Amino acid sequence: MNTKEIMALSDQYVMHTYGRIGLALVQGQGAELRDAEGKTYLDFVGGLAVNSLGHCHPAVVRAIRDQAETLMHVSNLYYTEPQAKLAELLVQNSCCQRVFFCNSGAEANEAAIKLTRKYAKKFGGPEKYEIITAEKSFHGRTLAAITATGQTKYQQGFEPLPQGFKYVPFNDLAALQKAVGPHTCAVLLEPVQGEGGVIPAERDYLAGVRELCDQQGLLLIFDEVQCGLGRIGKFMAYQHYGVEPDLITLAKALAGGFPMGAMLAKQAVADVFAPGDHAATFGGNPLACAAALAAMGVMLQEAVPENCAQVGAYLKEQLLVLQQKYSFIREVRGLGLLLGMELAVEGAPYVRRCQERGLLINCAAGNVLRLLPPLIITKEEADRAVAILDAALGAE
């Protein structure tokens, strides 16, 4: 099928929940994608931070193929080896001791919300249920997750929303301190806000949040769905800041392109969950876990976060050069290979211009050009992307 045929078929039968771009992608390898007409693109969207090892990484492909021939799914009523090994890997490389597996970031955040509330009621009393989140945050599309999300545009039309969430400005410790009340049980933050426009937390801010949570008996949850798993140059995003949360949510890059999510928690928190309190039919199935074991194995054994930090710093330097060249670039910000270029104008036209020239990027918050390339890109690929971006920014 060609692009027009694929688009027509999709538009006829698929619900219109996405503002899709007129591009039908059919094949990927490494940092490149090919469309239905055979044109290639340098992929700096990366499946929205999913394809951290690039497309069709051989280790992940091999793991999926081998596991698919062995055992794809059984109920979580039973034990499976891939799930046990993946839980061990995540615990050994984090500050947490227990893992719950699911299928997406929204599901991971739902699990964290439920676990947090049960913990709070057990140790703080029935009045403890409120979770404070940040303005411009994004935590998923399920009903509780969009309520936790500090952006009203995602909530409109779905009222009434669940109770128990309060929002404060990001990187404003005084505002957070003021918001803590008798019902507060936890703080939920992204170490780097992705959908909000690529806004990193300040180091002193997260340290202050941790201290406040300790003083007030609150749990601290880090949503690392987008910024974790190597994306900002450390395996876990909290490691960049030296601040340990009580719970961590993961997804996106976890299984190298295969759908998977996880919620990690410290032992004392995890212990309040009992059989029947939470579940996911497909969560932690053998196929997803085999893919994740392969992907995370490559991530850790081949120093992928280190490459991300090095190439990310180089790419950011080149973007800062562009900022000096174009007066309508307000700011370049981000960590590792989660980078954003805030414009004084709408970003969508520049996304289109880049696509026309063979570079896929994304726009967040309306005017922030967001770059989320595979973490395995080279400086040469970064240079290619900057050259195309330069041409797109300078086009009349």
* Calpha distance 135→205 (Å, rounded): 15
Residue 44 annotated to the active site: no
Assess whether 252 carries a catalytic annotation: yes
- Which residue's entry shows tokens 């990187």? 171
Note if 11 is an active site residue. Answer: no
**What is the identity of the amino acid at 43?**
D
Helix, strand, coil percentages, rounded to 5, for the chain: 40, 20, 40
- Rounded to 5°, angle at Cα 266 from 260 and 271: 95
Other CB atoms within 10 A of residue 203 CB: 12
Instruction: Give the active site residue among 223, 234, 235, 258.
Output: 223
Burial 124-143, CB ≥16 within 10 A → b, else e: beeebbbbbbbbbbbbbebe
The bridge status of strand 219-223 relative to strand 184-189 is parallel
Selecting among 44, 100, 101, 138, the annotated active-site residue is: 138
Residues 254, 296: contact at Cβ < 8 Å?
yes
| Distance from C-alpha of 194 to C-alpha of 136, rounded to nearest angstrom | 9
219 is written with which tokens? 């749990």
The catalytic position among 136, 234, 252, 266 is: 252
Longest distance between any two alpha carbons in the chain, whole Å: 62
Tokens describing residue 396: 């009349």
What tokens were used for 21?
A: 């771009």
Q: What Rg, from alpha-carbon coordinates, does the chain have?
A: 21
Q: Where in the sequence numbering do the catalytic residues fall?
A: 138, 223, 252
